[in-house]
């Protein structure tokens, strides 16, 4: 399956090298062998950076661990890198990655499900890649074509057998973003839209099957938290949120939402939001320009990526305080736009 993905990326690289010059928008090209399926040929990051041509990235291959990797750690993605890095848990000593998944392109965020399976929204190829957990950097489990747009974030209680909420930063043909509902076997078969979505940012699916999408509302900014009961329908914009700009979402073990405001560089904690939110804590100041952040399984730590600093910042977490503890950055580069984060095992919700 990974060999197909490599060939698919080669096709994208050829298309980009032939015609990406001067292309400031999102365009789409067909997926070879899949009639009617297209992918975003010139993807963007959640900060609206344009992805570079993929000529270098297609040289990467999947790097499998030579030994059994641990069942806990932190995944970090860089938008302009073809590599996804796995770090050991509690990396206060700032050690480098313990494993790497390569042959990925234009990844905004990454996620793990409740089983430790890794979800990689590959924005360049237009696929959601699922790697087997709970061991870090496990083998490929599924490659799910996303015909609706550029996948940028994902959430699922069980990506191998259950529903997956897949945020599309932007849809095909430069249409506003959306929320796709997918499965490993059936693919992406439902696409949910809402008039408040311009770009779709962070997404979270609860263990009970509800979805929240944090959206940028216009080209100039704005924020809307959209609640999809049962991960169905047209969604309802939540009331009572304080954010001025969109960002990532996670769910703590009490069912509270932890939401980042990228513009203000702060995080909020809310209960409810179905659709009325109650503010429990925040704004809590983050160290740098941060879009995505994730909780650990015990909800004692919140890990986020400061893109402009090129660092991973780890904070203590409670609904009353998110406080900085330490950072690590070995193996990362600010110029590669570090962005996404997943903590394995994830929050128990």
pLDDT band of residue 43 (cuts 50, 70, 90) is confident
First to last CA, the chain: 32
Question: What's residue 58's pLDDT?
Answer: 35
Residues with Cβ within 8 Å of 276's Cβ and at least 6 positions away in sequence, in order, are 238, 239, 240
Q: Looking at 64-68, 112-116, 148-152, which range is the least confident one? A: 64-68
Inform me whether the pLDDT recorded for 230 exceeds 70: yes
CA distance 237 to 347: 25
CA distance 290 to 306: 5
**DSSP type of residue 300:** S
Residues with Cβ within 8 Å of 183's Cβ and at least 6 positions away in sequence, in order, are 144, 161, 162, 163, 164, 189
Concatenating the DSSP letter of every residue in 146-206 gives --SEEEEEEE-S-TTTS-EEEEEEEEGGG---EEEEEETTTEEEEEE--TT-SEEEEEEE-
Written as six digits, the tokens of 242 are 């304080």
CA distance 316 to 77: 22
CA distance 139 to 153: 20
Phi-psi region of 315 (alpha: psi -120 to 50; beta: other; left: phi over 0): beta
pLDDT digits (tens, 9 = 90+) for 63-112: 444 568 999 999 999 999 999 999 999 999 999 999 999 999 999 999 99
Calculate mean pLDDT across residues 204-208: 97
Q: Can you say how many angstroms the Cα of residue 102 is from the centroid of all Cα atoms in its chain?
A: 16
Question: What's residue 52's pLDDT?
Answer: 62
CA distance 111 to 204: 10
- Contact status, residue 329 vs residue 78, Cβ threshold 8 Å: no
Question: What's residue 39's pLDDT?
Answer: 53
pLDDT digits (tens, 9 = 90+) for 275-324: 999 999 999 999 999 999 999 999 999 999 999 999 999 999 999 999 99
Is the bond into 227 cis (omega within 30 degrees of 0)? Answer: no
Residues with Cβ within 8 Å of 87's Cβ and at least 6 positions away in sequence, in order, are 73, 74, 75, 76, 95, 96, 97, 98, 312, 328
Helices (H), the chain: 2-19
Written as six digits, the tokens of 305 are 């990526």
Question: What's residue 17's pLDDT?
Answer: 30
pLDDT band of residue 5 (cuts 50, 70, 90) is very low
| Selection from 338, 289, 343, 341 nearest residue 45 by Cα | 338
Question: What's residue 33's pLDDT?
Answer: 43
Bridge partners of 85? 76, 100
Residue 34's CB is within 10 A of a number of other CB atoms, namely 14
CA distance 276 to 239: 5
Question: What's residue 66's pLDDT?
Answer: 52
pLDDT band of residue 48 (cuts 50, 70, 90) is confident
CA pseudo-torsion sign 310, 205, 255, 270? positive
pLDDT digits (tens, 9 = 90+) for 152-186: 999 999 999 999 999 999 999 889 999 999 999 99
Calculate mean pLDDT across residues 2-15: 41
Residues with Cβ within 8 Å of 257's Cβ and at least 6 positions away in sequence, in order, are 204, 212, 225, 249, 250, 251, 269, 270, 271, 273, 277
Question: What's residue 21's pLDDT?
Answer: 31
Q: Looking at 1-10, 54-63, 183-192, which range is the least confident one? A: 54-63
- Contact status, residue 151 vs residue 166, Cβ threshold 8 Å: yes
Inform me whether the pLDDT recorded for 16 exceeds 90: no
Inform me whether the pLDDT recorded for 254 exceeds 90: yes
Bridge partners of 249? 259
In the chain the domains, ranked by start, together with CATH numbers, are 2-248 (2.130.10)
Question: What's residue 194's pLDDT?
Answer: 98
Q: What is the mean pLDDT of the chain?
A: 88
């Amino acid at each position: 399956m990974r060999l197909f993905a490599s060939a698919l990326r080669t096709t994208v690289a050829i298309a980009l090298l032939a015609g990406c010059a001067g292309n400031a928008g999102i365009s789409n090209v067909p997926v070879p062998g899949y009639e009617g399926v297209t992918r975003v040929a010139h993807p963007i990051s959640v900060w609206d950076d344009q992805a570079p041509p993929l000529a270098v990235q297609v040289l990467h291959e999947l790097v499998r661990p030579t030994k059994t990797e641990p069942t806990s750690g932190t995944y970090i993605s860089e938008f302009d890198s073809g590599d996804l890095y796995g770090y050991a848990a509690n990396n206060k000593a700032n050690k480098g990655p313990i494993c790497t998944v390569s042959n990925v392109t234009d990844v905004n965020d990454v996620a793990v499900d409740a089983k430790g399976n890794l979800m990689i929204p590959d924005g360049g190829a237009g696929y959601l890649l699922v790697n087997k957990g709970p061991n870090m950097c496990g083998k490929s489990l599924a490659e799910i074509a996303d015909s609706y747009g550029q996948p940028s974030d994902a959430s699922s209680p069980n990506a191998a057998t259950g529903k997956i909420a897949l945020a599309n930063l932007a849809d095909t043909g430069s249409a506003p973003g959306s929320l796709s509902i997918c499965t490993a076997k059936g693919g992406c078969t439902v696409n949910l839209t809402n008039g408040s979505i311009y770009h779709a940012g962070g997404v979270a699916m609860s263990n009970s099957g509800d979805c929240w999408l944090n959206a940028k509302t216009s080209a100039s900014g704005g924020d809307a938290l959209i609640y999809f009961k049962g991960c169905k329908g047209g969604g309802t914009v939540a009331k009572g949120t304080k954010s001025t700009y969109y960002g990532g979402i996670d769910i703590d073990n009490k069912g509270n939402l932890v939401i980042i405001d990228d513009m203000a560089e702060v995080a909020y904690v809310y209960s409810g939001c179905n659709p009325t939110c109650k503010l429990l804590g925040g704004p809590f100041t983050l160290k740098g320009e941060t879009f995505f952040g994730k909780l650990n399984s015990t909800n004692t730590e919140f890990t986020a990526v400061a893109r402009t600093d090129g660092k991973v910042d780890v904070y203590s977490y409670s609904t009353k305080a998110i406080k900085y503890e330490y950072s690590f950055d070995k193996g990362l580069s600010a110029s590669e736009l570090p962005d996404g984060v997943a903590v394995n095992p994830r929050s128990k919700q």
